[in-house]
Structure 1
Amino acid sequence: MTLQIVRLDRWIDPCFDEMIQAHPGVKLSIIETDSPMQDNLALMARTDLYHTTASRGETPLHWHITPELLKSWPRLKVVSSTGAGYDTIDVQACTDAGVLVVNQSGANADSVAEHALGMMLTLLHRISESDHVLRTYDRRVAVSRESLMGRELRGKTLGLVGIGEIGQRVARLAKAFGVRVLATDPYLEDAQVEQRGALRVPLAQLLAESDVISVHCPRNQETEYLFNAELFQAMKPNSVFISTARGGIHDEQALYEALVSGHLSAAGVDVWDPEPPVQDHPLLTLPNVLASFHTAGVTHEARHNVARLGAEQLLQICRGETPPRMVNPEVLDRVMARFASEA
């Protein structure tokens, strides 16, 4: 029996299609994202595995995996996300329907960690502010270099909110700069956090002691708008806030107010809610905000890794093997039984 894999026509590194198409017993079809769903019902009815985009902003709502959409995929057994996140997938609905959800956790971790560290250095040394002044200032007016005086990263305390694949890489990079690293993560024990290069502390202590806080947790019911006005106020005065995780974990208005008041010295924001932010977004008006277009994990190397690991994992499942990055592993036996019954 030939297994049907479907993906949307969003850009993906070519190695994904090449690997899938080279595998016997598997057929790959590509759906035009902007096409009416009605045009794709026949294909959806015979699809076994669906590889979908991870970003909510890049995926039309009618292609998000919801209980309603699952009714149109009667043979669907696996939903695979193109990234570590799975914002477009209702995991509980998939679990209820006996559909396995897998992601590509760790595939872009090096890129995101480097981006976060780059933001730290840029903000502490005020590189982007200096660049802007140099390009725009009136040469007839003297500018004091001391007005752009920055701070070293060495000797600072870094607080990591989440120390998974990305967070532990940030910890290792920061240690090379002589940084003390704290972390809070409800899913890990003290010894596990220590093995990943940090001291595990409660969130309140992390907020009070960290010169830089970098967010590396998923967005879920526990973390949605976790960083609100109260938490920003609890942060160490003159500290730096950085998020390369997901939009909606921090309250953007509250962050703006913490920066304008002078309580926080700077912020690096790669993720927004919604994405992209409106052009006149308050945070984009501040010189001490370093903004990027949710590109922390968008490098040539990361995109290749994500595509390669995604293809490898789907092919493992097609061969009846246990995939390494399951979001709802409790349904694995049910899914494998469905594959066997339809063989």
Structure 2
Amino acid sequence: MRILAAGDHFVRPELIRTALSRELPGSGGDAPELVELTLPWPYEPFGPVGGVREASGTEEELIGALAGVSVCVTQMAPFTERVFAASSGLRLVAVSRGGPVNVDLAAATRHGVAVSFAPGRNAPAAAEFAIGLMLAAMRRISASDAALQRGVWRGDLYAYDEGGTELDGATVGLVGYGAIGRIVARVLLAFGARVLVADPYTDPAKAAADGVEPVELDILLRRSSVVSLHARLTEETRHLIDARRLALLPAGAVLVNSARGGLLDHGPLPDMLRTGRLGALALDVYDVEPVPDDWPLRDAPHVITTPHLAGATRQTAHRAATITAAEVGRFTRGEPLAHPANPEVFAADRP
């Protein structure tokens, strides 16, 4: 069996190789042959390639690397209809990210290729980052740091009207209560916050047992002084927080989005910030990435921005490689995949 480790400069091929070595036989005639490809992300931004989203590299280089390959482990490679059509021996694509957005699942299924993914790979990192954004926004950490770097001592931030707010005693609303949202909630509760969650797929009894209060989204927005987004982006959730729902927020509320830029309608935000209707905005994800030079929020007040870094820890990269290598191990042993994206393709039947 020939395996392609199509890594990049985050989930690097050597991480994939090391993780695979723990799952697969290392010697003898049955030992797999491992070949490697390094894609340019993150030194070159990901984007749409051949009809798939958030991919890195080209279809041509991937097709060339897939010659004779039956299994590919990747984070960003563009698995399009064209790639599947040109790779007749391919049987499994193990994607080392929370969702296989770089894979045309319909094409994979038509060509009999199983696809798996790596849920939870970045949950601790993304949860920590969301908490960091909240604190930075609520306590003016970024603004005061930037001023001091310019030589300006912002003693005025101790004035009552400029003072920050605390998580202790605050009502924080989490839109989405999956792996990341649950960790965020646990940390917020430790800070002394009251936590509301809006997620139609969450069992209310389990949420209540966690110490959080499940509510409808509109109610959450009305009651929360801090709102953090943790939902997955689908056609159902695109612009989930639109102008109507933004207007439900209490005056001066803090809004954090470290999930997906498409969850939030960015149009109303500059005016809301300038009028004080929105107290602060912290973003790690955007409607267009990278943001353009004429981005409307660039000169709006009380905005904290980071370049899609919530999952950027070394531990995330190691977990991603480990989870996908385990899927390859299951595949080679004829076992069902733990995280199939197209379960109608039975990977266990394709050793």
* TM-score with structure 2 setting the length: 0.84
Pairing 1:236-247 to 2, within 5 Å after superposition: 236-247=250-261
Q: 1:46 and 1:238, CA in 2 relative to 1: closer, same or farther beyond 3 A?
A: same
Name the counterpart of 1:20. 20
Name the counterpart of 2:95. 81
Whole-Å separation in 1 of the counterparts to 2:213 and 2:104:
34
Q: 1:258 and 1:330, CA in 2 relative to 1: closer, same or farther beyond 3 A?
A: farther
Which ranges of structure 1 fall in alignment gaps of 5 or more residues?
55-62
For residues 69-88 of structure 1, give each alpha carbon's deviation from its aligned partner in whole angstroms, at most 9, with x where no partner exists: 32122222222222213321
Name the counterpart of 2:203. 189
Q: What SS is found at the alignment partner of 2:350?
A: helix
Deviates more, 1:185-194 or 1:236-245: 185-194
Q: How many residues align?
A: 327
Question: In the alignment, is residue 295 of structure 1 matched against residue 295 of structure 2?
Answer: no
- What letter is aligned with 1:310? T
Question: In the alignment, is residue 44 of structure 1 matched against residue 55 of structure 2?
Answer: no
More helix by share: 1
User: Offset at 1:121?
Assistant: 1.2
- What letter is aligned with 1:97? H
- What letter is aligned with 1:66? T
Whole-Å separation in 1 of the counterparts to 2:79 and 2:271:
36
Whole-Å separation in 1 of the counterparts to 2:211 and 2:261:
26
Task: Please say if residues 5 and 17 of structure 2, whose CA atoms lie closer than 8 Å, have aligned partners that are also in contact.
Answer: no
- What letter is aligned with 1:270? D
Task: Please say if residues 228 and 255 of structure 1, whose CA atoms lie closer than 8 Å, have aligned partners that are also in contact.
Answer: no
Q: Which of 29, 33, 36 is residue 30 of structure 1 equivalent to?
A: 36
Whole-Å separation in 2 of the counterparts to 1:298 and 1:134:
26
- What letter is aligned with 1:136? R
Question: In the alignment, is residue 68 of structure 1 matched against residue 109 of structure 2?
Answer: no
User: Offset at 1:170?
Assistant: 0.3
Q: What SS is found at the alignment partner of 1:290?
A: strand
Q: 1:323 and 1:188, CA in 2 relative to 1: closer, same or farther beyond 3 A?
A: same
Whole-Å separation in 2 of the counterparts to 1:32 and 1:305:
18
User: Offset at 1:232?
Assistant: 1.2
**Which contiguous aligned blocks of 4+ residues in structure 1 show a shift greater than 6 angstroms?**
none
Task: Please say if residues 97 and 320 of structure 2, whose CA atoms lie closer than 8 Å, have aligned partners that are also in contact.
Answer: yes
Whole-Å separation in 2 of the counterparts to 1:18 and 1:304:
10
Task: Please say if residues 6 and 47 of structure 1, whose CA atoms lie closer than 8 Å, have aligned partners that are also in contact.
Answer: no
For residues 306-334 of structure 1, give each alpha carbon's deviation from its aligned partner in whole angstroms, at most 9, with x where no partner exists: 22222222222222223322233343x3x
Whole-Å separation in 2 of the counterparts to 1:326 and 1:258:
42
For residues 192-238 of structure 1, give each alpha carbon's deviation from its aligned partner in whole angstroms, at most 9, with x where no partner exists: 32344422111111111111111111111111222222221122221
- What letter is aligned with 1:288? H
Which ranges of structure 2 fall in alignment gaps of 5 or more residues?
26-30, 41-56
Task: Please say if residues 104 and 310 of structure 1, whose CA atoms lie closer than 8 Å, have aligned partners that are also in contact.
Answer: yes
- What letter is aligned with 1:267? L
* TM-score with structure 1 setting the length: 0.85
- What letter is aligned with 1:321? E
Q: What SS is found at the alignment partner of 1:92?
A: helix
Q: Which of 123, 132, 140 is residue 109 of structure 1 equivalent to?
A: 123
Q: What SS is found at the alignment partner of 2:267?
A: helix
Q: What SS is found at the alignment partner of 2:172?
A: strand
Cα RMSD for the two superposed structures: 2.5
Q: Which of 246, 254, 272 is residue 232 of structure 1 equivalent to?
A: 246
User: Offset at 1:253?
Assistant: 2.6
Pairing 1:1-343 to 2, within 5 Å after superposition: 2-13=1-12, 14-21=14-21, 23-24=24-25, 25-33=31-39, 37-38=59-60, 41=63, 43-54=65-76, 63-136=77-150, 143=156, 145-146=158-159, 148-331=162-345, 333=346, 335-339=347-351
Name the counterpart of 1:57. none
